[in-house]
Structure 1
Amino acid sequence: MTLTLPTMPTVRKYRRETTEVSSCLKYMIFGFNVLFWMLGLCILTVGVWAWSEKDIFNNLGKVANAALDPAFILICVGTVTFVIGFTGCVGALRENTCLLATYAIFLSALLLFEMTAGILGFIFKDWIKAQAAIGFQSFIIHYREDPDQQNLIDWIQEDWLQCCGIEGPKDWDRNNYFNCSSRDVGSREACGVPFSCCKRQPTELITNKQCGYDVRKPGFPKERQIYERGCLRAGEEWIEGNLVLVAAVKVGIMILQILGICFAQNLRGDIFAQKAKWH
């Protein structure tokens, strides 16, 4: 009698297929851009809120100087930051090659714009200086009409550059409230300057909003406690004194943009390689 031994089942070894998509690269792009997404959303929200407070959405005729409106600038910056952060964040998380390509295109366009602006700014610096003077003049003219522009020019004069006017305090004669002829219509600010032109005293705890009254009158004491330097020259001196810092920040931003483009393209390549395995 022949005994038949039971055959042992064949054990097949399956090799676990590794993915081509780098998790480190994927979540690094996601984490970096989710911050930009939220930052852009916050900036956009503040800009829209500022415009709605001024009721510009219902009075579009006020948008004559929209390019100089801080609220409009916030809306533009917030929108660009939000879109770039959204495409990079969702594109990396969902491994969407279309969104990643859009993200890389946006960064490339922004990088090209910054490089072009930097080159043109160096070549046409006199024209840019003239445009800055025109923009600051518009701020002075509409100082009491737009609270955003008023706060911006006060910050420039008092906190940032410690200056007054474009070329000097006399430029505030362009404003109807500070013009010396406004004394005839009862303006208390006539022949004066805004408080942001005044030099803060070391012992001053509360800002004196009336410190600029009458400082440009002919009979006013010679020693005026206001900034005599114009903001245009002060801005030039600030750029010259911080040129290395400005250049370092600019180069750092451009390096981050180049890395973002490279990382997005590498992740797209990994996703395409993984899809090729499936087929």
Structure 2
Amino acid sequence: MLKCCGAEGPNDWAASRFNNVERSNALDLTISRLNPVYKVPQSCCSTDDMNVCNNVRSLGIVTSITAVPNGIYSKGCLEKLIDTISEYSIYFIAVGGSIVVLELFGLIFSLVLCCAIRRKDDDYKS
């Protein structure tokens, strides 16, 4: 699990359908137009205790002055996903390279088989 909240942080949930905000006009979704108190989903909770989680899930708009309360992940999932992909990139490259090598072996084997069948057919004609 990535242990994150929102794409860039918990504030992403303030302008979502999760908080009954309709996106009829994206230009109207400024911080001043949003409800100052919003909820984040349970997946944003960093604790397994449901009572603590339910108490901290209601947030106010988090600015640089205010901090995300304890019990809520403050880091966004996009950053975490990029970090995870970077961490395991060698495995992605190895799997991709293996697939390319297997495909090339399959292509070469099929060409050799095709040529062998063609030579056998030529022997029957003469």
Count of residues paired in the alignment: 105
Residue 223 of structure 1: CA displacement?
A: 3.2
Residue 228 of structure 1: CA displacement?
A: 1.1
CA contact (8 A) 2:4 2:44 kept: yes
The secondary structure found in structure 1 opposite 2:106 is helix
Equivalent residue number for residue 59 of structure 1: none
Residue 222 of structure 1: CA displacement?
A: 5.5
Equivalent residue number for residue 174 of structure 1: 15
- 1:194 paired to 2:41: yes
Max radius of gyration: which structure?
A: 1
CA contact (8 A) 1:215 1:224 kept: no
The secondary structure found in structure 2 opposite 1:216 is strand
Provide the C-alpha distance between the structure 2 equivalents of 1:196 and 1:222, rounded to a whole number of angstroms: 15
Give the residue type in structure 2 aligned to 1:193. Answer: V
| Root-mean-square deviation (Å) | 2.8
Give the residue type in structure 2 aligned to 1:172. Answer: W
TM-score by length of 1: 0.33
**Structure 1 segment 190-229 matched on structure 2, within 5 A:** 191-201=38-48, 208=50, 211=53, 214-217=57-60, 223-229=69-75
Provide the C-alpha distance between the structure 2 equivalents of 1:163 and 1:222, rounded to a whole number of angstroms: 12
Provide the C-alpha distance between the structure 1 equivalents of 2:70 and 2:117, rounded to a whole number of angstroms: 68
- 1:163 paired to 2:21: no
Measured against aligned partners, the alpha-carbon deviations of 1:38-87 in whole angstroms (never above 9, x if no partner) come to xxxxxxxxxxxxxxxxxxxxxxxxxxxxxxxxxxxxxxxxxxxxxxxxxx
CA contact (8 A) 1:199 1:227 kept: yes
The secondary structure found in structure 2 opposite 1:253 is helix
**Structure 1 segment 68-147 matched on structure 2, within 5 A:** none
Higher strand share: 2
Higher helix share: 1
> Structure 2, unaligned stretches of length 5 or more?
22-33, 62-66
Provide the C-alpha distance between the structure 1 equivalents of 2:84 and 2:15, rounded to a whole number of angstroms: 25
> Structure 1, unaligned stretches of length 5 or more?
1-158, 184-189
Residue 234 of structure 1: CA displacement?
A: 0.8
Residue 200 of structure 1: CA displacement?
A: 4.5
**Structure 1 segment 37-76 matched on structure 2, within 5 A:** none
CA contact (8 A) 1:163 1:227 kept: yes
